[in-house]
């Protein structure tokens, strides 16, 4: 990754503001369509705003192995958006890739509006209220690279939905096949770590690190979050 690309997507991420977040969560057993309004400001003119209206399709999650990770995770996005996701993977901050979500950029329209960005945002808010769509979003981003702001929206939706998705998949025994490849010593090590963390909440962080290191976090995610919630109630 060159310095210019790194700066481009970091700048876009840091200057992305999700003004209206979708109320719904990502579907576990079906595709999810997010309809978005993305507004960006023309830095050369305070009275020109770019408005993009489009939709993103999120294909239903699939359980995959680390060897199957690839850049088809994003379809129809710029190189900067790809680099943003790659940086998350390198920092292990994109654990949703463990479930194989694929984000596809659908067709979108765009127009230049001769008005301030604040006025355009207010008008879009009014339009959104009339639609009553639980999967509609309003995002304020930067003009270049603008689609990084959409990836940021996706990551926010992932964090909002992941616990429910894992619970749904667990109830359908979708992790059973993966669980069978775990060795008995590893299962015992994890059980011992859970018991220790239940007695001493300060060990929860090291438990999470162990699950990530052994690449079995999805199998224990619901139990891990339940442990966190239980420790908070003490």
Tens digits of residue pLDDT in 146-181:
999 998 998 888 878 877 877 787 776 665 544 444
Q: Is the pLDDT of residue 182 over 70?
A: no
**Confidence bin at 59 (pLDDT 50/70/90):** confident
pTM listed for this prediction: 0.64
Give the pLDDT of residue 149.
Answer: 92
**Span 44-70, average pLDDT:** 72
Integer CA distances (angstroms), 19 to 75, 83, 86, 125, 219, in order? 25, 24, 26, 9, 34
**Residues of the chain above pLDDT 90, percent:** 32
Residues 6+ apart with CB under 8 A from 166: 218, 221, 222
Give the pLDDT of residue 44.
Answer: 73
φ, ψ dihedrals at 71, nearest 5°:
-80, 0
**Element of type H or E holding 39:** strand 32-41
**Span 65-74, average pLDDT:** 49
Angle at 89 between CA 25 and CA 161, to 5 degrees: 10
**Span 212-225, average pLDDT:** 81
């Amino acid at each position: 990754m060159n310095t210019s690309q790194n700066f481009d997507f970091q700048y876009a991420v840091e200057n992305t503001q999700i003004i209206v977040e979708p109320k719904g969560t990502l579907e576990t057993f079906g595709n999810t369509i997010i309809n978005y309004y993305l507004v960006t400001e023309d830095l050369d003119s305070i009275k020109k705003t770019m408005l993009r209206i489009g939709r993103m399709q999120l294909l239903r999650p699939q359980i995959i192995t680390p060897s199957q990770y690839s850049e088809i995770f994003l379809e129809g996005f710029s190189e900067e958006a790809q680099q943003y996701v790659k940086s998350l993977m390198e920092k292990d901050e994109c654990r949703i890739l463990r479930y194989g979500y694929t984000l596809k950029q659908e067709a979108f329209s765009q127009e230049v509006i001769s008005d301030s960005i604040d006025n355009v945002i207010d008008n879009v808010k009014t339009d959104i209220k009339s639609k009553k769509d639980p999967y509609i979003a309003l995002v304020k981003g930067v003009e270049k690279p603008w689609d990084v702001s959409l990836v940021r929206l996706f990551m926010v939706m992932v964090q909002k939905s992941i616990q429910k998705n894992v619970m749904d998949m667990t109830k359908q025994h979708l992790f059973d096949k993966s669980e069978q490849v775990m060795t008995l010593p590893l299962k015992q090590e994890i059980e011992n770590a859970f018991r220790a963390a239940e007695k001493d909440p300060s060990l929860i962080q090291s438990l999470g690190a162990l699950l990530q290191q052994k690449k079995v976090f999805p199998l224990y995610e619901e139990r891990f979050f339940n442990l966190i919630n239980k420790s908070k109630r003490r």
